[in-house]
Amino acid sequence: MTTSTPVRTAQIKMSSFIFLYFFTWSSSFGLYALWLSQKVGLDSITIGSVFAINGVFAVILKPVYGYIMDKIGMSKWLLYFVCAVSALMAPFFVTVYQPLLLSHTTVGIIIGALYLSLGWYAGVAASESYADRFSRLYGLEFGRIRMWGSLGWAMAASVSGLLFNFTPLANFLVSSATSVLMLLVLISLKIGDDRLRNNNVISANKIVFADVLMLLKNRKFWMFSLYVAGVAWMMFVAEQQFPRYFVSFFDTKEQGNAWYGYLSTVQSGTEFVMMMFIPLLVNHYGAKRGLLLCGCVVGARLIASGLTTDPVIISIIKPLYGIEISLLLISVFKYIAEHFHKKINATMYLLGYQAMIYVGSVVVAPPAGYLYDKIGFEHTYLMMGCCALLFTLISAFTLSRCQSKRDESRNFSPTLGAAPVEPAKH
């Protein structure tokens, strides 16, 4: 079936926005842990605390962003705000964040956490949720749009390590410049009125706070959150300071920084390719099995990372993260579309998945930082990998079963009483 010109044009603009967002994010945030360690001079425990406080603000702001997005539907004003905050990252890092971290560390951590959450932590979640809603509104696959974010991350990562070795200011300036382009692309994106009038994605009845309370009483919400706590927490917390572990395999920090940038490019390239094919896999086997497969890959990667002492092997392991993130994102969005009402789609994603991830930063990142210093990265990764596998096994029994097409027609939302959940269009 040939895609019409208006749909194709809208898809290109949405894909371009996602590309630029992840290019912007990767340019600065991809080496954030190295910046905190090498340029600001923080130790492992303090860096763990930075990520923990960042997580607190992310946990607070992500549900707020999700609630706002369910309220405003396909309106873009929240994304305009995210673009504006992102465009000011360079002056913020240089004139506010770094000086405060050096002179008033606690104040710097708190102000930085708020700003980064507004622009990146909660901002990227809002952007992905909007892209998912957009893709279903136009009958497209989310992965075919989100894959351009992977390409944007890869292209930025290919040069970010070299720019960082020259001066981190260059990374921040690139981020701010591309944020302006991102804003212009978003302004040019127009959603057709016919799509908004006749669709199976945007609920005519807007979310109210009582719906959020009902969501918190839903067993499916907590079983999904249990999976996030056991698998996604390990996956993302391990990644936070992984650059420091990776760099330790090389003779000099500069060599390690450069190789980390190269392999981040390979990782994002892997993610780009997987975003094209993972939807086929998840559509065939179901969202639940996609989540369980992701948990197995996460556990295996972390255990392998803890066992190896070879820079070649750790370099081969690094790109596997691209497979994990593809499996996780595609499966999460499809699981939410299948089991939760469209009225709370963005809230469920930003509260049940995104916010829960950063609860992990609050709970796990500080003790992980402590363990890195006390028993080493190797033993810590072994523990985290085993934890991911254990929770994957538990989730095989606690996650809701994958529904067949025959079941979808009878699906009712346990969150909102008898309101039917329409299956996502692909």
pLDDT grade for 109, boundaries at 50, 70 and 90: very high
- Residue 201: what pLDDT? 58
Highest mean pLDDT among 47-56, 107-116, 136-145, 253-262: 107-116
Give the global pTM. 0.77
Q: And the tokens for 12?
A: 């290109």
**Is the residue at 204 inside a domain?**
yes
**Is the residue at 114 inside a domain?**
yes
The residue with greater pLDDT, 199 or 42, is: 42
Cβ atoms within 10 Å of 180's Cβ, excluding its own: 14
- Residue 13: what pLDDT? 93
> What are 223-279's pLDDT values in tens digits?
999 999 999 999 988 887 888 888 888 878 778 877 887 787 788 788 888 988 899
Q: Is the pLDDT of residue 414 over 60?
A: no
Of all residues in the chain, the percent with pLDDT exceeding 90 is 27
Q: What's the total number of domains in the chain?
A: 1
**Is the residue at 174 inside a domain?**
yes
Query: Angle of helix 44-72 relative to helix 77-87, nearest 10 degrees?
Result: 150
> What are 112-129's pLDDT values in tens digits?
999 998 988 888 888 988
Of 271, 2, 243, residue with least CA distance to 150: 271
Q: Is the pLDDT of residue 411 over 50?
A: no
**Is the residue at 417 inside a domain?**
no
* Lowest pLDDT segment from 128-142, 187-201, 311-325: 187-201
Q: And the tokens for 257?
A: 């920084």
* Lowest pLDDT segment from 115-129, 346-360, 405-419: 405-419
| Domain CATH number, residue 150 | 1.20.1250.20
Unique residue bearing structure tokens 């090389």? 250
Unique residue bearing structure tokens 């079941």? 407
DSSP letter for each residue of 31-87: THHHIIIIII---HHHHHHHHHHHHHHHHHHHHHHHHHHHHHTT--HHHHHHHHHHH
The residue with greater pLDDT, 342 or 356, is: 356
Write out the residue range of the structural domain in which residue 38 sits: 9-408
**Is the residue at 415 inside a domain?**
no
- The runs of H, that is alpha helices, within 93-249 are 98-103, 105-116, 122-137, 142-166, 168-188, 193-197, 209-216, 219-227, 233-240, 242-247
- Residue 423: what pLDDT? 36
Q: Is the pLDDT of residue 410 over 70?
A: no
